[in-house]
Chains A and B, each alone.
Chain A
Amino acid sequence: MKMKRIMALLTAGTMAFMLAACGGSTSSDTSSSSSGDSSASSDTTASSDSASADGTTIELLNGKPEIDTQLQALADAYKEATGVTVKVTTVGGSNQATASDTLKKDYQAGTMPDVFVAEANQFENWKGMLVDLSGEKWVSDTNYAFTNDDGTVGFPCYIEGWGLAYNADVLEKAGIDPTTLTSPDAYKTAFETLESKKDELGLTAVVAYGANNANLGWSTGTHLFGQYLDAGIISGQDSKYFDLLSDGGKIDEQRMTDFANFIDLIQQHCDKDLATQGTYDQETAMFAQGKAAFVTQGSWFGANLTSSDDYKAAPFKCGIAPFAFEDGIDTICGGATGYWACYNGDNVDAAKAFLQWCSEADAQKIFVEQCGFNSPFNSITETSDDPFAAAIVSYRDANKFSNMNTFMKKDGLQNETGQVFEDFAKGNLDVAAFVSTISQVCQNYYAK
């Protein structure tokens, strides 16, 4: 009996000891992550060697995998210049939601990075938690900082713009002056001219247009829909169609009909297979091979072009024409589309200093030359050798940028409208049905 009790006590004691061992490691994990060292916080985070609390390490969350190595170079340059370590963590891929999801996880775990990437619609999530950067020097050097009720919260990383991108060499050969493309009639004539000279110019389709919702819903549902919202209105002047949309998902029928007619015109001159089931890669390949004169993409497309072997073998000049579905539209949607926000944690001053340095010539050189960004800062005159850089700069300097309210619409609406574009491309809807369906979809979505 006595022996049994001793045995029981011993085993229980062993169990308790094992538990203590497990418990010990758990608790040290918690305490280390709460002090800001995120070595155990996430699968995507590289291990950090020093805690951020001492002010010498800034954590930066990047959402663009394609510029990861360039940002490492930026971090090295900053380390050399100031001795402050910048730890770059890259997440994401094609799905833009990943960075924001990582942040939500980090927030719950108490391991928020000091500087992180954000898009216009994501600032709402972090209301009251971001640093107001309005007192910084770089703010006076740019028109593209993101401002909301919290103050100036977004450091602009780059500017982009989109309309109808074109192959300038093909248009020149066909005798079309792209500056005249400011009305649907001008486009109609141009498309017909190109259509008639297709063989001579080596085109398989006049426009590379992709509307498959699963593959290119982000293009149609966000960017093309954004043309409906803002095309033709100089940035900052008016947002009436967006205001209408925000008011319960209302659509201006006349403007949407004009827009639909223009999409219809594009559809008459595009590759049907590409339109209904093509991917971004196929769209890129078609344009890069010079087999399409136009593509329904924007300046980000330049990076895809320059990395395409077809384009490298036979480069051509590119430009961006306005999405002129009504007479006189001569603007493209453009501005800063990627921002860095600064989290109000215990590293604010170091983060502010880093952002200031990023806005200056040394850092901008890396952004412009290595990342291919168009700089949002006025004092930076260098342009990248991106095929669309010149187009973006010319619209920017001429003040012909329209708003990009499409990024401020209710989250997820693009998945719904993108489907309407796909059905339109498949021929399941005609112009009138497209207009009525898209307004029904928007209203239902805003009512949800």
Chain B
Amino acid sequence: MKKSDFSVGRKLSAYAVLVCGIVLLVAALAMDFSGSQSAARGPMLVAGMLVTIAGIYLFPTLKYHRALIYGIFLFPLLFTFAVTVIIPLVEGIGYSFTDWDGVRVTGFVGFENYARMFRSADFVWSILITFIFVFVNVILVNLIGFLLALLCTTHIKPLGFFRAAYFLPNLIGGIVLGYIWKFIFNEVLTKLLGSVSLLNASNTALMAIIIVYIWQYGGYIMLIYITGLTGVPQDTIEAAAIDGANAWQTLMKIKVPMIAPTITICTFLTLTSAFKQFDVNLALTNGTGSVANFMGQYITNGTEMLALNIYSTAVSENNYALSQAKAVFFFIILAIVSIIQVRSSNKKEVSL
């Protein structure tokens, strides 16, 4: 069909429907932003959207018709994604340039919040320890998870029990876990060993958080590695055995290369979840602990990682805009790290 096949009437009605839809949409949005309480604005918005889609559908060209139909199918998902992710993200970035206090915005401050957060020693400290925490954890959690997976793919007797036992900590929520371990560190270990609690000083408390994190996450990562290891074809391993490979060689030359995609997934999982560490941090130390001299200052948030720092800036310091700026920064770090990580892992998989 050519464009000329459409009658003038069809063209006109298509334009009319389209204009009508856009007018409804704009009117509904305008009512909402002007603070109108009219109950009609919700149906108006939806009706406007539907009429607009109909208008586009009737639009006198068939060139993009197929794409359009796909678009209509995707629309509910895209709409939900926009409402729950994209719009809050844009709004949040907007708030980070203001002096929002959680209730209202009285002024626009430009990059002041961003400048302020890098001037404050406590935030720089949080960034630093978060990176240390992530670095140590990505290595240790993966190593321990992998070793447990090796153990749980051998032929020892109570295999099911071991698997369940290692995985169980992951099923306990982080807050509960934090309080349990707080009790262990403060009451049990001190009595057993007669030493001071690990939570007593910032550096040892940080170590305690790492221990709890590994305990919580190791089993989960183990489970993924088990899936990877059982997926290694038995004939490849047999062939290696016939060629005279010992256990170590089989592991390093056969199993590890074969589960490279699993390693990618696990590294990615631990990396992002370690960055976002919040609940155990909150329950175990609530970010307390002192550092005698950092950037020339005595700082009091010795164990406060980024996510908790953002939270306490908003809630206990009642500084929502600054906290929002920190959150935007946090988002950027996570995005960069994730992209680099996925890119480099993809390359490795291809080369193998």
Contacts and interface: CB of A to CB of B under 8 A. Distances in A.
A147 to B, nearest CB: 21
Interface stretch (B49-57, B215-223, B247-255): B49-57
A415 B316 contact: yes
B285 interface: yes
Nearest to A103: B103
Contacts of B297: 440, 444
A334 to B, nearest CB: 24
B43 interface: yes
B295 to A, nearest CB: 10
Contacts of A428: 290, 292
A44 interface: no
A441 interface: yes
B46 A19 contact: yes
B199 interface: yes
Interface stretch (A191-199, A201-209, A418-426): A418-426
A18 B120 contact: no
B42 A422 contact: no
A23 B103 CA distance: 28
Interface stretch (B70-78, B144-152, B161-169, B339-347): B70-78
Counting chain A CB atoms within 10 Å of each CB, the highest count among B43, B103, B286 belongs to B103
Contact of A34 (B37, B54, B316): B37
Nearest to A416: B300
A105 to B, nearest CB: 9
A307 interface: no
A6 B37 CA distance: 40
Contacts of B288: 212-214, 217, 415, 418-419, 422
B300 A419 contact: yes
Interface residues of B, number: 43
A438 to B, nearest CB: 9
A254 interface: no
A304 interface: no
B197 interface: yes
Contacts of B69: 8, 11-12
Given A213-B300, A416-B300, A448 B116 contact: yes
Nearest to B183: A279
B205 to A, nearest CB: 9
A107 interface: yes
Given A101-B315, A448-B120, A27 B298 contact: no
A412 interface: yes
A3 interface: no
A214 B116 CA distance: 26
B179 to A, nearest CB: 11
Interface in B68-120: 69, 72-73, 75-76, 101-103, 116, 120
A440 to B, nearest CB: 6
Contact of A26 (B39, B46, B199, B319): B46
B235 interface: no
B39 A22 contact: no
Contact of A19 (B50, B121, B286): B50
Nearest to A28: B42
B42 A30 contact: yes
Interface string B317-334: 111000000000000000
Secondary structure type dominating chain A contacts: helix
Contact of B43 (A8, A24, A107, A423): A24
A411 B73 contact: no
B125 to A, nearest CB: 13
A419 B42 contact: no
A104 B102 contact: yes
A437 B298 contact: yes
B88 to A, nearest CB: 12
Question: In which size bucket is the chain A interface?
Answer: 35 or more
B46 A20 contact: yes
A251 B94 CA distance: 37
A52 interface: no
A279 to B, nearest CB: 9
Contacts of B45: 23, 27
B200 interface: yes
Interface string A1-27: 000000010011001101110111011
A419 B49 contact: no
Contacts of A440: 297-298
Contacts of B116: 448
B76 A125 contact: no
B186 interface: yes
A26 B42 CA distance: 7
B312 interface: yes
Contacts of A423: 290
Nearest to A436: B298
Contact of A276 (B49, B73, B200, B289): B200
A316 interface: no
Interface in A312-370: none
A18 B316 contact: no
A125 B101 contact: yes
B16 to A, nearest CB: 18
B299 to A, nearest CB: 8
Given A214-B288, A415-B300, A16 B317 contact: no
A40 interface: no
A35 interface: yes
Given A8-B69, A35-B37, A412 B317 contact: yes
Interface string A119-155: 0000001100000000000000000000000000000
Interface string A357-400: 00000000000000000000000000000000000000000000
Nearest to A414: B316
A126 B103 contact: yes
Contacts of A416: 300
Nearest to B283: A214
Interface in B52-67: 53-54, 57
18 contacts: A15-B75, A18-B76, A23-B50, A24-B43, A24-B46, A26-B42, A30-B41, A31-B39, A31-B42, A100-B318, A212-B288, A214-B288, A217-B288, A411-B316, A415-B300, A418-B288, A419-B289, A420-B298
Given A16-B50, A16-B54, A415-B288, 10 more contacts: A23-B45, A29-B42, A100-B318, A126-B103, A213-B300, A419-B300, A420-B290, A440-B297, A441-B300, A444-B297
The 6 closest A-B pairs by CB, nearest first: A27-B42, A23-B46, A412-B317, A419-B300, A31-B39, A411-B318
